[in-house]
Amino acid sequence: MTEALLVAERLSRRFGGLSANEDVSITLERGKLHALLGPNGAGKSTCINLLSGDLPPSSGQIHYKGRDITRLSAPQRSRVGIGRSYQRTNIFGGFTVLENCRLAAQSRRQRAWRLFTDACALGDTLDKARAVIAEAGLAGREDRIAGTLSHGEQRQLEIAMVLATDADVLLLDEPLAGMGSEEATKMVALLDRLRRTRAILLVEHDMDAVFAVADTITVLVNGQLLASGSPDRIRANVEVQQAYLGDEAPASAVSGCGAPPRAPARAAPPAGTRDGSATCRA
Amino acid sequence: MTMSRPTMALLLAVLAGLFTFPFYGGEFYVEMMAEMMILGIFAMSLDLLVGFTGLVSLGHAAFFGIAAYAVALISPEYDPANLWLVMPAAILASALAALVIGLLVLRTKGIYFIMVTLAFTQMAFYLFHDTALGGGSDGIYLNFRPEPRLGEWLAFDLAEGHQFFYFVLIVLVLVYGLLVRVLRSPFGRVLVGIKENEHRMRSLGYATFRYKLGAFVLAGALAGTAGFLYAVLFGFVTPELLSWHESGQVLMMVILGGMGSPVGALIGAGSMVALEESFSMLTKHWQLLMGLVIVAVVLFLPGGLIGLPGRLRGLLLKGGGDD
């Protein structure tokens, strides 16, 4: 019993002569975490931008809960329930953590045209903001200026803001980027929790994390969909190994520990690591 | 936007000083103070765009001038107009102009926004300068100050200097109160969010164009309020009111006083008029001195004059520590 929330069919995006995405189809289901992999420049961010409405597709269709949303703008897609985070932290650095989330929560409560109410008197918006701050593991940080948070906390805030918009679909662009291992572990646990009630698309370079939490993995290369399937199938897929690592690399390296993909492949002993789960923290 | 106690006390003291000003200030200074307050309203309206929404407009004088022309054109030649009709009409004219211009210019950003707002204000300038609509380059007289007529009853008399002063002061307080409330409201928070990071606001579900348009129209209406009062004060309207010069002047007031604070805008407008007045008594080349002051403020007080007390306190504390 899975519910397909977001279905993208044959999405293409061309920039002049360059095809950043070509015929990419992807389905996001509630309760599932779908990871998007690919070398740098494979078109992962473009794909997220197409789904979030930051970029209009050149061709293809996107349906959300059965409704065609291909022509909707970014704000409209956010309002139907598609939330996104950014690869480079994109928060309101000068505002407090609470105000960052309050603004996000307010957008869903249709009260922005009230000119004469005190924004801080809108209790339900504030409650929502506090709740998502706690959910993202930032409780106690409400009054900190967002720009002064540690890098990892800013990434958590990114997620909290998306949650405050009541999004059912989360498009997360490298939420683990630049995080220490402890922070990353916490974030992976958070993603695992969030997945239960939502659909998540995760773009991530950290292979350990991806293979640990993903239900489905899609691999993009040169803007095209190379393979899509369960982590085990992707790990065993010869084409993926070649695209990612070149012909000479050992098969196991796909499950190695991330960017740059070549380095761990060389470092890993050629045998004995066939069992990918050895390098994936569960 | 909660106020600290000393700020509150200072604000009340200033207000008390203003309300009693006609009793000790001479005629000349009462009129000058009225001008300061009118330009203060104008500067606050621009600050809503520049300081709170992040829209640097170089065409804000258009809305100031359009309302001024509206009063002059609507008012009958040999009778005073009804204040309760002509004032809303003038403000509405500016708001409508802001709506139409805003729909076009808000599609651009940054330097392009500055350029198209400038272009529109120049169009408005030449509309009045080169056509007979408002007396061409000679401008147009407003022979009588409007009367606050309700049936046969006249509540006060704007032709009388002190009463006009109080009328301006009350409008100023109302506009200030309105801005403070609006900035505290969900709408105001959205504007500040747009200034901080418009892209993120969009991805959070805000169709930012509408909010920017709302701010643009509100700022236009408030600039119109100031323009209306300005025309009534001087009884004379010329195309220069809509010139890019005027737009630059009000932008300088906002920068001088400190962006992102209505009080800063008021301080900027007040000090600009005061400096202009005192420098022009010193020398014919007062604009050179004025330029020096602006440069000094921008260099040494990037937050504007409103940041001065904090700066001084910082210096004093540091000096104390060295002893």
Q: Which of B182, B204, B212, B259 to mutate: most A Cβ within 10 Å? A: B204
Straight-line distance from the first to the last Cα atom of chain A, in angstroms, rounded to the nearest whole number: 25
Q: What is residue A110's predicted lDDT score, i.e. its pLDDT?
A: 59
Minimal Cα–Cα distance from B177 to chain A, Å? Answer: 11
| Distance in angstroms (rounded) separating the CA atoms of residues B150 and B169 | 21
Tally C-beta pairs within 8 A across A and B.
89
- Is A90–B200 a contact, with Cβ atoms under 8 angstroms apart? yes
Residue A250's SS3 state is coil
Q: What is residue A111's predicted lDDT score, i.e. its pLDDT?
A: 59
Residue A26 identity (one-letter amino acid): I
DSSP-assigned beta bridge partners for residue B150: B153
CB contact set of A122 (below 8 Å; sequence gap of 6+): A106, A109, A111, B186
Report residue B25 as tokens: 């200030």
B202 lies within 8 A of chain A by CB: yes
List, for chain B, all residue ranges whose pLDDT scores fall below the cut of 70: 1-3, 319-323
Closest by Cα among A144, A191, A196 to A172: A191
A107 lies within 8 A of chain B by CB: yes
- Is A103–B205 a contact, with Cβ atoms under 8 angstroms apart? no
A146 lies within 8 A of chain B by CB: no
Q: What is residue B285's predicted lDDT score, i.e. its pLDDT?
A: 87
Domains recognised in chain A with CATH numbers: 4-81+167-279 (3.40.50.300), 92-166 (no CATH)
Nearest to A115 among B185, B193, B203 (CB): B185
Quickly count: other Cβ atoms within 10 Å of residue A6's Cβ: 25
| Distance in angstroms (rounded) separating the CA atoms of residues B211 and A197 | 32
| Residue pLDDT tens, chain A, 282 long | 578 899 999 999 998 888 889 999 999 999 999 999 888 888 899 999 999 999 999 999 999 999 999 999 999 999 999 999 988 888 999 999 999 999 999 988 755 567 777 777 778 889 999 999 999 989 999 999 999 998 889 999 999 999 999 999 999 999 888 888 888 888 899 999 999 999 999 998 888 788 888 999 999 988 888 888 888 888 888 888 877 755 444 444 444 444 444 333 333 333 333 333 322 232
Q: What is residue B321's predicted lDDT score, i.e. its pLDDT?
A: 45
Nearest to A111 among B186, B204, B214 (CB): B186
Report yes or no: B62 and B120 within 8 Å, Cβ to Cβ. yes
DSSP-assigned beta bridge partners for residue B116: none
